[in-house]
Amino acid sequence: MIQVKGYAAQSVSSVLTPFSFQRREVGPKDILIDLEYCGICHSDIHQARNDWGESIFPMVPGHEIVGRVTKVGAEVSQFKVGDVAGVGCFVDSCRTCPNCKENEEQYCEGHRVGTYNSVEKDGKTPTYGGYSNQIVVDEDYSLKISSKLSLDKIAPLLCAGITTYSPLRHWKVGKGDRVGVLGLGGLGHMAVKLAVAMGAEVTVLSHSPQKEKDARRLGANHFISTENIEISHVFSNHFDLILDTVSAPHDLNRYLKTVKKDGTMVLLGAPPESTQISAFSLILKRRNLAGSLIGGIKETQEMLDFCAEKNIGSDVEVISAKDINTAYERTLKGDVRYRFVIDCKTF
Whether the bond into 7 is cis, omega within 30 of 0: no
Instruction: Quote the Cα angle for 161-338-193, to 5°.
Output: 45
Let me know whether 38 and 144 are in one domain. yes
List b or e across 279-305, with b for residues whose CB sees 16 or more CB atoms inside 10 angstroms.
Answer: eebbeebebebeebebbbbebbbbbbe
Let me know whether 187 and 105 are in one domain. no
Let me know whether 130 and 193 are in one domain. no
Specify if 198 maps to a domain: yes
Specify if 182 maps to a domain: yes
Distance (Å, whole) CA 181 – CA 185: 10
Let me know whether 125 and 189 are in one domain. no
Expressed as residue numbers, the domain containing 233 is 161-291
* Structural domains in the chain (count): 2
Let me know whether 23 and 108 are in one domain. yes
Residue 181 belongs to a domain with what CATH number?
3.40.50.720
Let me know whether 17 and 153 are in one domain. yes
Let me know whether 231 and 171 are in one domain. yes
Q: Which residues make beta-bridge pairs with 59? A: 9
Kind and range of the H or E run holding 319: strand 316-319
Neighbours of 184 (CB within 10 A): 27
Residue 34 belongs to a domain with what CATH number?
3.90.180.10
**Could you tell me where the beta strands, DSSP code E, fall in 192-287?**
201-206, 222-225, 239-244, 259-267
Q: Which residues make beta-bridge pairs with 343? A: 37
Q: Which residues make beta-bridge pairs with 318? A: 341
Q: Please give the model's pTM, rounded to 2 decimal places.
A: 0.96
Let me know whether 98 and 147 are in one domain. yes
CA of residue 94 relative to chain centroid, distance: 22
Per-residue pLDDT tens for 221-246? 999 998 878 887 788 899 999 999 99
pLDDT band at 32 (very low <50, low <70, confident <90, very high): very high
Specify if 241 maps to a domain: yes
Per-residue pLDDT tens for 54-93? 999 999 999 999 999 999 999 999 999 999 999 999 999 9
